[in-house]
Amino acid sequence: MSNERLTALECSVLDRLADTLIPPARDAICASQAGVSGPLLVQAETYAPDLPGRLRTFISEATGIEPVAALTALKLRDSAAYDAFCETIAAIYFLSPQVRATIGFAGREPKPARVEVSDLEDLLMPVLEAGFAPRAV
């Protein structure tokens, strides 16, 4: 399974599949308009470098088949793979700032962890009391 970037033909097939799942709607762009097979896919690859290879598997099966038929066949043959494909397309779609702005979702913001020293002491006390000698299994 190659993790190289998708070819233009593969991107075209991915766009058609993605647009079937996320078509244009009033005040909302479809998946291909958001850039699911372009810049958003490149961004998603930074989080999941194996993404092109995983997508390529289904894209190769769907090439030359109408998107609805390809998605229906996948759902009947392997519902877990279908669910994973749909979730992946949705995740890539919501990387778009334009999409998030349309629905009023800024995205997840990192929040610093708040750890109290007393909590650490409570967590570490059993370890300190047990010592650092090897334990018999």
Averaged pLDDT, 85-101: 94
Q: What is the CA radius of gyration of the chain?
A: 22
pLDDT per residue as tens digits for the range 5-49: 899 999 999 999 999 999 999 889 999 999 999 999 999 999 899
Q: How far is Cα 7 from Cα 124, in angstroms, rounded to an integer?
A: 52
- Return the pLDDT at 137: 62
Which pair of structure tokens corresponds to residue 134? 């090897």
Q: In this structure, what are the phi and psi dihedrals at residue 4, rounded to the nearest 5 degrees?
A: -65, 160
Distance between CA atoms of residues 19 and 81, nearest Å: 18
The proportion of the chain whose per-residue pLDDT surpasses 70, expressed as a percent, equals 93
Q: Are 19 and 90 in contact (CB under 8 A)?
A: no
More confident residue, 2 or 14: 14
What is the pLDDT of the chain when averaged over all its residues? 88
pTM: 0.75
State residue 126's pLDDT score.
80
